[in-house]
């Protein structure tokens, strides 16, 4: 099922839906997380439920800029401190800075994808094995062109 979306409120609801489908892993790529609702109490709760569901569950986040996350997403930083074994956050290196889309991928199967960060149009897709594999491959390429940047410790070490 593919659903086309056109506004920020729809994006935030779609991301919650995708997170709700995840059973093992979430891979998130965005410029800075500012428009995805990652600072909200509701997002904190849905991510926390995902992490509590199974100790093996994992979240990987790749961002172009981590400033918004570290300065404005106290709840996300709390999750990182509570689940340091389960969350990895990277920032992209120059080789990946050209990427201008954003997505949240659950178990390489269901996803929300924004075509371009300057445009609120996006899509919400459930149970798309082929599309999910393509996004996973894209995420792995971005991950390879990034480095660890935000950790559970205040000093990042």
Q: Is residue 157 part of a domain?
A: no
Write the CB contacts of 130 (distance below 8 Å, at least 6 apart in sequence): none
Predicted local distance difference test score (pLDDT) of residue 124: 97
- Selection from 124, 123, 125, 121 nearest residue 7 by Cα: 121
Domain of residue 114 covers 2-150
- Which strands sit side by side in the sheet containing 119-125, from one edge to the other? 2-5, 119-125, 110-116, 102-106, 25-30, 58-63, 87-92, 146-150
Q: Is residue 156 part of a domain?
A: no
Q: Is residue 80 part of a domain?
A: yes
Predicted local distance difference test score (pLDDT) of residue 57: 98
Q: Is residue 106 part of a domain?
A: yes
Predicted local distance difference test score (pLDDT) of residue 153: 66
Task: pLDDT tens for the chain, 157 residues: list them.
Answer: 789 988 888 999 999 999 999 999 999 999 999 988 999 999 999 999 999 999 999 999 999 999 999 999 999 999 999 999 999 999 999 999 999 999 999 999 999 999 998 888 999 999 999 999 999 999 999 999 999 998 876 544 4
Predicted local distance difference test score (pLDDT) of residue 157: 43
What torsion, rounded to 10 degrees, do the Cα atoms 152, 153, 155, 157 define? -80
Per-residue burial over 92-109, b = 16 or more CB atoms within 10 Å of its CB, e = otherwise: beeebeebebbbbbbbbb
Specify the CATH number for the domain of residue 115.
3.30.870.10
Q: Is residue 98 part of a domain?
A: yes
Q: Is residue 73 part of a domain?
A: yes
Cα–Cα distance measured from residue 106 to residue 124, given in angstroms and rounded to the nearest whole number: 12
Q: Is residue 117 part of a domain?
A: yes
C-beta of residue 111 within 8 angstroms of C-beta of residue 88: no
Q: Is residue 57 part of a domain?
A: yes
Predicted local distance difference test score (pLDDT) of residue 156: 46
């Amino acid at each position: 099922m593919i659903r086309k979306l056109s506004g920020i409120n729809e994006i935030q609801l779609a991301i919650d839906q995708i997170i709700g489908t995840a059973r093992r892993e979430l891979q998130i790529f965005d410029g800075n997380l500012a428009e995805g609702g990652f600072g909200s109490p509701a997002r904190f709760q849905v991510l926390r439920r995902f992490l509590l569901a199974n100790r093996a569950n994992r979240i990987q986040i790749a961002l172009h800029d981590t400033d918004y996350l570290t300065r404005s997403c106290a709840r996300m930083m709390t999750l990182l401190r509570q689940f340091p074994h389960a969350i990895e956050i990277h920032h992209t290196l120059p080789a990946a800075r050209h990427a201008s889309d954003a997505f949240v991928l659950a178990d390489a199967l269901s996803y929300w994808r924004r075509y371009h960060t300057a445009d609120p149009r996006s899509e919400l897709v459930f149970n798309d094995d082929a599309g999910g594999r393509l996004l996973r491959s894209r995420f792995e390429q971005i991950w390879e062109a990034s480095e660890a940047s935000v950790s559970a410790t205040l000093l990042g070490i």
